[in-house]
């Protein structure tokens, strides 16, 4: 399990499971501590991801936030978290 704090209001908790073939990432978006959105994504491999949970984090942001400025803001937060 890994937690990504987007700001004081939102955070995303990611986890993974091992189905019969491949694996699956599960992400929960929390607003002020309450779960407001959940999604999952199945993979056979994810060697193309730049960092762990990259695609599921982007999926949460793209699907939950309606306004483009919010999407851009939170996608930038995710990218800034993983910079070395």
Which has more pLDDT, 22 or 71? 71
Question: Strand 10-17 and strand 34-43: pairing?
Answer: unpaired
pLDDT digits (tens, 9 = 90+) for 51-76: 889 889 999 999 999 999 999 999 99
pTM score over 0.75: yes
Rounded to the nearest 5°, which phi and psi values hold at 71?
-60, -50
Q: For 43, how many CA atoms within 13 A lie in the half-sphere containing its CB?
A: 19
- Domain residue spans of the chain: 2-81
pLDDT digits (tens, 9 = 90+) for 1-19: 999 999 999 999 999 998 7
């Amino acid at each position: 399990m890994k937690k990504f704090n987007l700001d004081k209001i939102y955070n995303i908790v990611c986890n993974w499971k091992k189905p019969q073939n491949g694996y699956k990432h599960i992400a929960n978006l929390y607003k002020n501590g309450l779960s407001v959105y959940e999604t999952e994504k199945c993979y056979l491999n994810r060697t193309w991801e730049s960092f762990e949970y990259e695609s599921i984090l982007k999926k949460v942001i793209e699907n939950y936030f309606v306004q483009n400025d919010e999407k851009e803001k939170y996608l930038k937060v995710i990218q800034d978290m993983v910079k070395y």
